[in-house]
Structure 1
Amino acid sequence: MIRGLYTAVTGLITGEAKQSMVSNNLANASTIGFKSDSLSIKKFDDVLIQNYDKMVNGVNTKNVIGSLSMGSQIDDLNTYFSEGVLQTTDKATDFAIEGKGFFTVQRDNGIDNKNYYTRSGNYHVDGQGYLVTDSGDKVLCKNKGTNAIEPLFVGDGKLQVDKSGNISVNGDNTHKFNTVDFADYKTLKKVGDNLFEAANPIQNQNITVKQNTLEKSNVNVANEMVEMMTIMRNFESNQKVLQAMDETLGKAVNEVGTVR
């Protein structure tokens, strides 16, 4: 009975984690460039149940009853990197990558500048004249003259970008988006603000970039709603099992053996 309590509780814990993940996906269904997540669930290793109640020739002998599952646990967090729908806009600072690849942005955390990677391309020009994300992170580009990777200064200039990512400000083609890719997407870790953190980026200058375009979230709202209802039903089932076991244990403690 006590083992059953643990099994039901692990189901509640994993159900709560999956519900939180689905809620986050739905909350970001309209977030530009957002990539949906899912949780993989696995069971704990089975436990072998046995006792020595069996008597053979007057001697207690091991009696194997069978195996018992100790419930479920979170196995892995999976991010789906499938491309979202590309939507045309009227802003010159909106960009999208067609196919694989990521933009590189730089965040000043007050100690040093750190690079992150994103599929989000809804940028704007800040008060200092640099191309930045909604969070104020500077978009990094390659200086064609010096080959340096640096923030792009736009100022009051007119911004034009071709499909290869070459950037012209007032007709002066001096920079190119610092687009990268990764050999293993499982190394990418979400850090908030629609950014990813990873080591060993691969420089990929053959990525197709589209100006006046944004990549929408790849969240499938209908699938997420179905998943949410499934999780809720499973959660309710585990809750009822837990309640039934609690009532049974309560009767065993308070009623069994009572002198009447």
Structure 2
Amino acid sequence: MIRSLYTAVSGMITQEAKQDVITNNMANSNTVGFKGDNLAIKKFDDVLIQNKSKINNGINYTQTIGNLSLGSRIDETATDFTQGSIQNTDSDTDFAIDGRGFFTVNRDNGVENQNYYTRDGHFHVNMQGYLVNDTGDYVMGRNSNTGNQERILVGNGKITTDAYGNIGIDGRPSYSFGTVDFNNYNTLKKVGDNLYQGENPINNANVSVKQKSLEQSNINATNEMVNMMSTMRTFETQQKVVQSIDETLGQAVNDVGTVR
């Protein structure tokens, strides 16, 4: 009876975690370049139940009763990297990647100096003339003259790009986006602010970049709403199972063995 209670509660815990993932997806359904998450759930290993109550010629023999499930657990949170739709904008500093790949941004806030990767190409020019993202991280590119990887300095110039991510400022070739790709997207880890960390990036990958465009979130709000309702119903069902088991345990404690 206690084991059945643990099994039902483990199901409630996994459904609660699934609700959190779905809620986060829905909250970011309008976030540029956002990639939705899916929660993978797997069961605990079953327990084989046996006893030795079978007696033959005075000898106890092992008798298999069957398997007992110990409930479910969270396996992993996997990100769906399916591309979102690309929409045109009127801003010269809006960019979208068509196909695989990521922009590289550098965070240097005096505490850390770290490169991150993103599909969010909603950039702008800061007060110092550098191309940055919404959180002020510097967009990285390769200098067309020196070949060095550095921050993209736009200044007051007009920025244009071609389909290969080559950047011209006032008509002069100046940079190319420091785009990267990964052989295995499973190594990518979300770190907040629509950014990723990843292992072994392929630098200067052949990535298709579109100017005056933004990639929308790949979240389907209708599907997420259906998933949320289904998850809530499952949670409520498991909650009723727990209540039923609790009532049965209460009766066992209070009534069994009572002299009447």
Q: Distance in 1 between matches of 2:124 and 2:24?
A: 26
> Which residue of structure 2 lines up, in the alignment, with residue 83 of structure 1?
83
Q: Is the 8 A contact 2:181 2:205 kept in 1?
A: no
Q: Is the 8 A contact 1:159 1:167 kept in 2?
A: yes
> Which residue of structure 2 lines up, in the alignment, with residue 35 of structure 1?
35
> Which residue of structure 1 lines up, in the alignment, with residue 123 of structure 2?
123
**Does residue 108 of structure 1 match 2:108?**
yes
Q: Is the 8 A contact 2:168 2:174 kept in 1?
A: yes
Post-superposition CA distance 1:2-51 (Å, at most 9, x none): 11011101100110111100000000000000001101111111101112
> Which residue of structure 2 lines up, in the alignment, with residue 21 of structure 1?
21
Give the TM-score normalised by structure 2.
0.97
Q: Is the 8 A contact 2:95 2:121 kept in 1?
A: yes
Q: Distance in 2 between matches of 1:205 and 1:73?
A: 38
- 1:58 deviates by 3.4
- 1:211 deviates by 0.6
**Which shifted more, 167-176 or 24-33?**
167-176
Unaligned runs of 5+ in 2: none
- 1:56 deviates by 2.2
CA 1:234 to 1:140, structure 2 compared with 1: closer, same or farther past 3 Å?
A: same
> What are the residue-to-residue correspondences of 1:43-62 with 2, within 5 Å?
43-62=43-62
Q: SS of the residue aligned with 2:156?
A: coil
Post-superposition CA distance 1:95-127 (Å, at most 9, x none): 001111100000114244111000000011111
Aligned length: 260
Q: Distance in 2 between matches of 1:85 and 1:147?
A: 33
The alignment's C-alpha RMSD in Å is: 1.2
> Which residue of structure 2 lines up, in the alignment, with residue 228 of structure 1?
228
> Which residue of structure 1 lines up, in the alignment, with residue 214 of structure 2?
214
Unaligned runs of 5+ in 1: none
Post-superposition CA distance 1:168-212 (Å, at most 9, x none): 112221111011100001011100000010121102442111111
Q: Distance in 1 between matches of 2:109 and 2:45?
A: 43
Q: Is the 8 A contact 1:34 1:119 kept in 2?
A: yes
Post-superposition CA distance 1:210-229 (Å, at most 9, x none): 11100000011111111111
Q: Distance in 2 between matches of 1:50 and 1:211?
A: 67
Q: SS of the residue aligned with 1:168?
A: strand
> Which residue of structure 1 lines up, in the alignment, with residue 195 of structure 2?
195
Post-superposition CA distance 1:45-87 (Å, at most 9, x none): 1101112222322343322101111100111221111110000
> What are the residue-to-residue correspondences of 1:156-195 with 2, within 5 Å?
156-195=156-195
Q: SS of the residue aligned with 1:30?
A: coil
Q: Percent identity?
A: 59
- 1:256 deviates by 1.3
Q: SS of the residue aligned with 2:244?
A: helix
Post-superposition CA distance 1:101-157 (Å, at most 9, x none): 100000114244111000000011111111101011000000011111111111221
> Which residue of structure 2 lines up, in the alignment, with residue 135 of structure 1?
135
Q: Distance in 2 between matches of 1:81 and 1:2?
A: 41
> Which residue of structure 2 lines up, in the alignment, with residue 240 of structure 1?
240
Q: Distance in 2 between matches of 1:256 and 1:238?
A: 26
Q: Distance in 2 between matches of 1:183 and 1:205?
A: 11
Q: SS of the residue aligned with 2:252?
A: helix
Q: Is the 8 A contact 1:103 1:118 kept in 2?
A: yes
